[in-house]
Homo-oligomer: A and B are copies of this chain.
Amino acid sequence: MNYLVTGAAGFIGSNLIDRLLDGGHSVLGVDNFSTGREEFLRSALSSGRFRLRRLDLLYDSLLPFMDDIDIVVHFAANADVRFGPDHPTKDLEQNTIVTARVLEAVRQAGVKRVAFASTGSVYGESPVVPTPEDAPFPVQTSLYGASKLAAEGMICAYAEAFDITAFIFRFVSILGERYTHGHVFDFYQQLSEHNDVVHVLGDGSQRKSYLYVQDCVDAILLVLQCTDSKVNIFNLGTDEYCDVNQSLSWICEYLNVKPRRVYSGGNRGWIGDSPVIFLDCSSIRSLGWRPLLSIREGIIRTVKFLDANRWVCSRATNEPSIKTRSASQR
C-alpha cells in the first residue's frame, strides 16, 4: 500500500513510518520541521520505498502529492497542550485548519482512507473514568483538545459526505524512543541541569496513563488492517495509570538522583490540564491488542533514549540538514 504520512519527522509519525517500511509498504512523508527531527528519519531515508517532502500544510496543498496514495495518515499537529493560552490561534491553525486543508486534498484527489491522531484531551474532564469512546458529550478545557475535537468532527462529516473511511485514534500521552516533549522530558532536562531540585507543575497527584510508542503503533496497524466502518474511533492507552509523583520517582531511581521536589501547587499542572486522564480501552482490546510494556517500563525506555540522545534536549535550529525538496522544486 502507498501511505502518505504527515508529521513524518515527529515522534509517533517517524516510528509508524519505520514499521510501515518494515511491512513492505511505500511511504511519502511530509513534515514542516517545526518540531520534527530529520534524525528520526535516518533509517527511513535509507529505504528505497520512502520519499520525504518539506511542506507547510497551512499554506502548501497536499493535492500535488496524492497520486497513487491509498491512505493519508494525518499526524502533523501542534502537540503542545500546555502553552495553548499563550498563542490562542496556534491550535486552530495548526490542528483545525491544517486538517481541513488535508481533508480538501483527500476529497479532491479521491483518496478513500484517512487516519488521524487525536487525543484523550478531547474528553476534557470527563465524569466517567476510565473514559470510553462514547463518554458523555465532553466540555473542552484546552484549546488543544478543542482543536483536535474540531478536526475529528470535520473528518467524520467528510466520511459521511464523501464516502471516506475514517480512523481516529484518541491517544493518552505516548512514551518511548524519539519522545521530545512532555513531563518525562521536562523532568529529565531539569535533572540533567541540576539534580538537587526538581520543579513539579501542580501537586504531583495528577493521574495519567501513558502508552509505549511501539504498543501504540501496533494498535494503529491492527486497526488499519481489520476495521472498515465508515468512522472508526479508538482510545489508545493502557489499563493502568500512575501519578506524576510516581513517575518522577521512577525517573529519579533510574538516574540515581534524589532531588528536592518543589511543587507549583493545585491539582492541575497548567490551565486545561486534566487531573485524570485514564481511557477505557476495551474497544481496541476487543481486537486482540494489548500493550506489551507497562507504564514504568515505557518511562524507563524514554529516559534511556533521552540519556543516549542528549541532542534532543538541546536543539538549536529547526532546519533539517538532510536536503528535502520543497513543493516549488518538484
Contacts and interface: CB of A to CB of B under 8 A. Distances in A.
Contacts of A85: 161-162
Contact of A137 (B137, B141, B145): B137
A6 interface: no
Contacts of A231: 139
B136 A136 contact: yes
A157 B142 contact: yes
Q: Chain A interface: which size bin? A: 35 or more
A96 B89 CA distance: 12
A153 interface: yes
A156 B145 CA distance: 10
A266 interface: no
Number of copies: 2
Contacts of A147: 153-154
A104 B89 contact: yes
Interface in A62-106: 84-85, 88-89, 92, 96-97, 100, 103-104
A193 interface: no
A222 interface: no
A265 interface: no
Top 9 nearest A-B pairs (CB, nearest first) are A150-B150, A146-B153, A134-B136, A85-B161, A146-B157, A140-B153, A140-B156, A143-B157, A149-B153
Interface of A: 84-85, 88-89, 92, 96-97, 100, 103-104, 107, 123-124, 133-143, 145-147, 149-150, 152-154, 156-158, 160-162, 231, 233, 271-272
